[in-house]
Structure 1
Amino acid sequence: MTRSLLLLGALLGPGVLAAPASPPVAPAPAPAPSLLPHLDVGAPAWKPYLVKPPVLITTRLDSQDGGCGTHASGLLLKQAKALPAGQYVVSFDARTVGGTLTVQYGLNDRTTATADLTGSWRGYQQTFTWDGGAKITPAAVRTENVNRVFQITENVEKNTPWEVRRLSVRRRAANGTLGPNLLPTQDPQAAPWLPYCAAAKLTTTVMFLGRDASADNPRSGVLYSLAPKNLPAGQYRVSFTGRSLSGPMEIVYGLNDGNTRTALLDREWTPFTADFKLAAPKGQGDRVVQLFETGPRNTPWEIRDLRVEKLP
């Protein structure tokens, strides 16, 4: 029998009796874009759920090498118009995830200072005098720099990961008073933040500190609203990763009060996902997502990778 098959194969030609090729595997579909513009839950776009607890928004940078033909990596923020001449106070907190690292920070490439980071959180502040950039040449370099408001970078090969928080740029008036923070969001994964040379992998974490609405109702949290618009009816998926800093703790998350799940946080980072079917908008139809804790005098808790996706 085997000899007959071999003879038949020789007569028919190579490949005729070969096993059929496996069909190509289709790539996994890309996730739908999140309906949340950023994770700066301390910003005015995010509303309190009863009361908004104090928050700390921290971004970890796992840097990349090779950008601009160097080892440079980091963040920068630009605005639509040139930054006016004047004095600006730049401040932030930073630390490394291990070891030490020197970073450069300031308004742009022509107005910078250095900061030596260690494994402990430390605040950094510097006042810069900006002349408006009229003398920067050539014109292309001037154009690239005059619209920048803030940047922070490193230029070390295979550097340790590092973290930043409490980013601030404020203009100092002639009488010494400081204006509002010129950075529109503390989440560098959102526009108008841009990578400096090579794009670092960014992980933004929100820490919620303890706060009670009242003795009778200890809940506190945040929600994101589209008001005056409503979230269209349909299927939605809410996902995030969370943890508590001191043992088991329950939080509630979902689209609105009628579409929620509970999540039990512990000290280890744990992913949570839930799908919700939203009927015709009514009542709290403007809400996109909400998260809150339910216990009195709660300890800090953290979330990252919070997403809301509309399902097909």
Structure 2
Amino acid sequence: MMDWTDRHCRHFHRRLSSQALLYTEMVTAPALVRGGALHLLDHDPEDAPVALQLGGADPDELARAAGLGMGAGFDEVNLNCGCPSDRVQSGTFGAVLMKNPALVKKCCAAMIAEVDVPVTVKCRIGVDDQDPEEALPEFLAQIAAAGVERVTIHARKAWLMGLSPKENRDIPPLDYDLVQRMKMLFPNLHITLNGGIDTLDQAVEMLEKGFDGVMIGRAAYHRPWDILGQADQRVFGTQPAARRPEDVAREMLPHIRAHLASGGRLHQVTRHMLGLFHGRPGARQWRRILSEGAVRPDAGVSLVEQALEAVQERALSA
């Protein structure tokens, strides 16, 4: 979710669900430790719980980055061992780490020794010509031995050569059964399933099959009200006060005002909100007004209010 789940996106998503665990976009340990890019750790404490997703392959550097993340107030530090992009391959981290579980063990152990928050891992079932039936259990055994108690498994292989990151999300076949067998093989591991799940019905079905959690990425981004807006009630069993997508949009206005006052641009926030009314009357007007207007230098809160009025007018005439 690089360039997607930034702090504005997470603030928006937290308005939709008070319970779901949110993740940052991947932040590389070298950027924090060597590059001093501490602005990448900016977040609103109101958005907790949030996991800091780290990329890297050097145990000492990852430990220092994890310490910076804990100091910034993140609730979890997650090591990404699943991203197949060219950028992470050139840095020999992300999905490349599936080939070196012993190194991942050292990385996790170093981070666990450094911080008091949970250290977790996100991985694939294997990469390239690995046999997932052999590679995945070995990988899980190594990180469990380091002290990792929670892992998110994207139930596809990653092909590091020949497939783009987008193709790696769709082409390699899903193997939910293998991941489910890992739950039986490692009963003490909290296993979250990822990959190909794009509705709450599917998520609930997987939880009922015995998975400890379900991670939903792009579907939750594009249809936030349908997924995050309903998750607290359907997944966590809470009974939120009656709310509408319009209420969520209005709750974002103070954040937008503060961002504009600090010199930010409107589209930096509203680009994450375009799918709020997906499938509802006025969704097209909402997207059009914000997409066309928010990039203008003088765009402000009034544009969001204009888009809301268009939604309401369309809903009344529907």
TM-score by length of 2: 0.28
By relative contact order (CA 8 Å, sep 6+), the higher-ranking structure is 1
TM-score by length of 1: 0.29
* Structure with the largest fraction of strand: 1
* Structure with the largest fraction of helix: 2
